[in-house]
Structure 1
Amino acid sequence: MPSIKKVTPMTENPYVRLYHLDVESKTGKAGHYYVASRAKDERHLKLNTRENHPDGVIIYAVCKEDKNKVVLVRQYRYAIDDYIYEFPAGLVETGEDFKTAGIREMKEETGLTLEPVTVNPAYEKPYFTTIGMTDESCATVYGYASGTVSRAGLEDSEELEIVLADKEEVKRILKEEKVAIMTSYMLMHFLHDGEPFEFLKEI
């Protein structure tokens, strides 16, 4: 199998860093690879720890008072210089449980209170986001959101609109708008589930 011979940090940034890998292919040919990571140093890269602790969390929340609506954010992202539809999400802080992070992020981004539901661990455990370029993984929290929408908790760097979308609006968004891939898959479930989170009963 291929192997990694050396890892060299290339950047030092607060939220994401780039690492250069000297690698060897399965036939013994030397090569180069680049990995972006949330890891603060080489020791914490998942290729070294062999552990998959979630870097971030996404929140799939249905409105408690109107279960035909799902909570989305339409957020500006520098990577595409445009707005994209996503679930509320954020980074898991050091020592923080990802469910606690989900509750915190929902409140900060939308002003809403999240009541998580209990699901099979297979549905909420951290999965890798874009494994071809990063070791980042995100866990998922499912639940019901209640309260009053507010932007008061947003940071200056966050530019987003809070959207409570019914199924017709979700159909339009999937057809016409830019959507984050994890969000798009969950929205497909939202459209076809007879009741909220019905697909979570499959395992």
Structure 2
Amino acid sequence: MGQITNIKKQTDNKFLNIYELDNIHKTGRKGKYFVASRAESIEKLKITTGKNTPDGVIIYALAGENKDKVVLIKQYRYPINSYIYEFPAGLVEDGEDYEEAAGREIFEETGMKFIPITVPEGYKRPFFTTIGMTDESCSTVFGYCEGEPNSENQEDSEEIEVVLADKAEVRRILKEENIAIMTAYMLMHFIKDEEVFSFLKED
């Protein structure tokens, strides 16, 4: 197994930083690796703590009178200079429970009220997003949304359109639009499962 011999923080930003890792490969050759992290210091890196605490939360929510529409956001993102379909999501603040963060983010991004559902532990624990580039991990919270979407609580920097998509629209989005991979996988369940959220049930 490879070995990390030294860590150097290269940037000092609020939401994202780059860390340089000196390492030794399994063959003994020395190298460098660069990691993007939400951690504000070396002491808070997952490399250092050995703990996988969620940096963010992703919300898979259903809405509509028959709970047959999925809540999506169409958001402008700088890395692609275009719009992309995603689930509502956001960072978990210090000391904040990730389910509380889910309700806060839904309200801020969509103006809707979020009602979480209870799911087995294996479906809500944090998973890594893009491990080749970052140590970021996110938990997914499942539930239902009530109320009419609005943009009143969005930040000035956010360009978000709330989309309540039925199965036909989801099929179109999967075929034609930019879409976040974590959202795409869940939407494949949404269009194929006769009973929505059935994959969350334990045998």
TM-score (norm 1): 0.98
- 1:66: how far off? 2.8
Q: Distance in 2 between matches of 1:144 and 1:68?
A: 10
Q: Distance in 1 between matches of 2:43 and 2:157?
A: 29
Please say if 1:146 is aligned against 2:151.
no
Q: Distance in 1 between matches of 2:17 and 2:115?
A: 33
- 1:65: how far off? 2.0
Please say if 1:171 is aligned against 2:171.
yes
Moved over 3 A (4+): none
- 1:64: how far off? 5.0
Name the structure 2 match of 1:79: 79
Alignment of 1:1-203 (within 5 A): 1-63=1-63, 65-202=65-202
Q: How many residues align?
A: 203
Q: Is the 8 A contact 2:115 2:144 kept in 1?
A: yes
Any unmatched runs of 5+ in structure 2? Answer: none
Q: Is the 8 A contact 1:64 1:144 kept in 2?
A: no
Q: Is the 8 A contact 1:63 1:70 kept in 2?
A: yes
TM-score (norm 2): 0.98
Q: Distance in 2 between matches of 1:193 and 1:96?
A: 33
Equivalent AA in structure 1 for residue 152 of structure 2: A
Equivalent AA in structure 1 for residue 178 of structure 2: K
- 1:102: how far off? 0.2
- 1:46: how far off? 0.2
Any unmatched runs of 5+ in structure 1? Answer: none
- 1:179: how far off? 0.5
RMSD: 0.8
Equivalent AA in structure 2 for residue 180 of structure 1: A
Q: Is the 8 A contact 2:62 2:145 kept in 1?
A: yes
Q: Distance in 2 between matches of 1:193 and 1:114?
A: 22
Q: Distance in 1 between matches of 2:169 and 2:93?
A: 33
- 1:201: how far off? 1.0
Identity %: 58
Q: Distance in 2 between matches of 1:152 and 1:39?
A: 30
